[in-house]
Amino acid sequence: SPLIQIRKLSKNYSTKGGDITAALSLVDLDVAPGEFVALVGPSGCGKTTLLKILAGLVGEYRGEVLLNGKPVRKPSSEVGFVFQEPTLLPWRTILENILLPVELVNLDMKVYRDRALDLMAMTGLAGFENKYPKELSGGMRQRAGICRALVRDPKVLLMDEPFGSLDAMTREFMNEELQRIWLDSGKTILFVTHSIPEAVFLADRVVIMSPRPGKISEIVPVNLPRP
């Protein structure tokens, strides 16, 4: 059975002036455990809104959004979020940034510190534990953002154009890195991108959203052989 089930999801935002923006309209989507789904579509079609709802960051919506059969209304440890910009706190070291989601809920730091160090080693950040964000390249900061999203071992990883601000070579390298993380961890990943080649390289399935209000217009199976 699907890990994520979305049925007739609609989301309106009301603005200060009293206007209403329809961000999503009657979206249906299922995602199987371990699947890598890429979400593409024009700016403003509701991709970020869809991810934020799945992350529990937007609790008000119409329709059904289920994770493991349970309605999603608030953030949980089962979902990690990688933002467009890694939003690391400049006054904290890389390791302290990665451990932030653990610290915020008072979990056992010793256990998670080892996990954070493993993740850093896995993503080529070993040796940078005590550096500050400004001492790292953009690609390395984005990798730290991925470590932070993975530190509580979520089932689902949501990624909102994570490599959009990187140069082409770093981006290609990060794509290979992410594919390796996915193959090693078996996480379920939803990945928003503007790049069709990136979507096709990474995903099992490419979901195309049509312009406002966001609606899923096409689902293209990719099913390329995996390395």
Site residues, ligand ADP (CB under 6 A) = 13, 15, 21, 23, 41, 43-49, 212
Q: Measured from the CB atom, is 117 or 220 closer to ligand ADP?
A: 220
Tell me whether residue 149 is exposed, middle or buried, using C-beta atoms within 10 angstroms of its C-beta: 0 to 12, 13 to 18, 19 or more.
buried
Q: Measured from the CB atom, is 111 or 219 closer to ligand ADP?
A: 219
Q: Measured from the CB atom, is 176 or 218 closer to ligand ADP?
A: 218
At 2 the three-state DSSP class reads coil
Q: How far is the CB of 132 from ligand ADP (least distance, A)?
A: 26
- CA 73 from chain center: how many Å? 17
Cα separation, 176 vs 190, whole angstroms = 16
Helix ranges, the chain (H): 47-54, 94-98, 100-103, 109-122, 138-150, 168-185, 196-202
Q: How far is the CB of 174 from ligand ADP (least distance, A)?
A: 18
Q: How far is the CB of 118 from ligand ADP (least distance, A)?
A: 31
Q: Measured from the CB atom, is 15 or 106 closer to ligand ADP?
A: 15
Cα separation, 100 vs 78, whole angstroms = 16
Q: How far is the CB of 193 from ligand ADP (least distance, A)?
A: 11
The partner residues of 189 in beta bridges, in order of sequence, read 36, 157
- DSSP code for 45: S
Q: Measured from the CB atom, is 21 or 93 closer to ligand ADP?
A: 21
How many CB atoms lie under 10 A from the CB of residue 117?
Answer: 16
Q: How far is the CB of 185 from ligand ADP (least distance, A)?
A: 25
